[in-house]
Amino acid sequence: MRIDIITVSPDLIKSPFEHSIIKRAINKSLVEVHFHDLRKYALNKYGKIDDYQFGGGAGMVLMIEPIDKCISQLFLEREYDEVIYMTPDAITLNQKTANILSSAKNIIILTGHYKGVDQRVRDKFITKEISIGDYVLSGGELAAAVLCDAVIRLIPDVLGDETSALTDSFQDDLLAPPVYTRPAVYKGLKVPEVLLSGNFPKIEQWRHDEAVKRTQNIRPDLLNKSNT
């Protein structure tokens, strides 16, 4: 997979890709991540990429021309499965979307900034719009990093144990069950006996039951969704 991220602040987004699982995926050539500084496509030597919005109002808007130049250049080099715009006024990212995107070959992610982008960018180039929650950040860089982490960890061979991602929360519309490790008893706090029994069918049933219970208590909407 190749991911091209268009951003006003490339230094802000690079750090998450230099550590842990994502770094290992890049080093193993399972994914390529390229950062494109939008100011390199600015309209003048002063790096102009934004302007006041028509009709008045507070906040600057990213202009269409620099974004057009950047995306058009990328289109000349390869085909893309998706051109994604990170914006709070979109459908919220979920595990199903991450699963689908993990099978893509090439993706462009455009990060919003200021008041957003000229609507014509969204109309002309964007194939999918994604939010990471009902709140507003200073820019889309952190949201793009969240999306990339959610997607990259699902690429085959990225995780050491392929079953790990399959047992994550939300894969089956359930939250993950509780997990424990050594010691079996700590200051009177005990690990459930079933997990120490070696009876794997019972362990799996316990995990399922605990996942349902946790989902009912914390995210009952997930159970309602799975039953519709």
CA dihedral 5, 163, 177, 93 (to 10 degrees): 20
Please report the pLDDT score of residue 176 as a whole number.
87
Q: Grade residue 114 by pLDDT with cuts at 50, 70 and 90.
A: confident
Distance CA 110, CA 50 (A): 15
Please report the pLDDT score of residue 168 as a whole number.
61
* Residue 147 and residue 93 in contact, taking contact as beta carbons nearer than 8 Å: yes
Cis? peptide before 183, omega within 30° of 0: yes
- DSSP state letter for 126: -
The single residue listed with the structure tokens 């392929």 is 162
Distance CA 106, CA 79 (A): 7
Helix axes 20-27, 141-152, angle to 10 degrees: 70
Please report the pLDDT score of residue 227 as a whole number.
60
Please list, residue by residue across 183-202, b when 16 or more beta carbons sit within 10 angstroms of its beta carbon and e when fewer do. Answer: eeeeeeeebeeebeeeeeee
Q: Is the pTM of this model over 0.75?
A: yes
Domain architecture of the chain: domains with CATH = 2-152 (3.40.1280.10), 167-226 (1.10.1270.20)
Distance CA 148, CA 59 (A): 28
CA dihedral 169, 175, 180, 181 (to 10 degrees): 0
Q: Which residues contact 214 (CB under 8 A, 6 or more apart)?
A: 174, 175, 176, 177, 178
- DSSP state letter for 142: H
- Asked if the model's pLDDT at residue 180 lies above 80, the reply is yes
Distance CA 87, CA 128 (A): 10
Please report the pLDDT score of residue 47 as a whole number.
87
Percent of the chain scored above 70 by pLDDT? 94
Distance CA 63, CA 51 (A): 7
pLDDT tens digits, 28-74: 999 999 999 999 999 998 889 999 999 999 899 999 999 999 999 99
36 or 224: which leads in pLDDT: 36
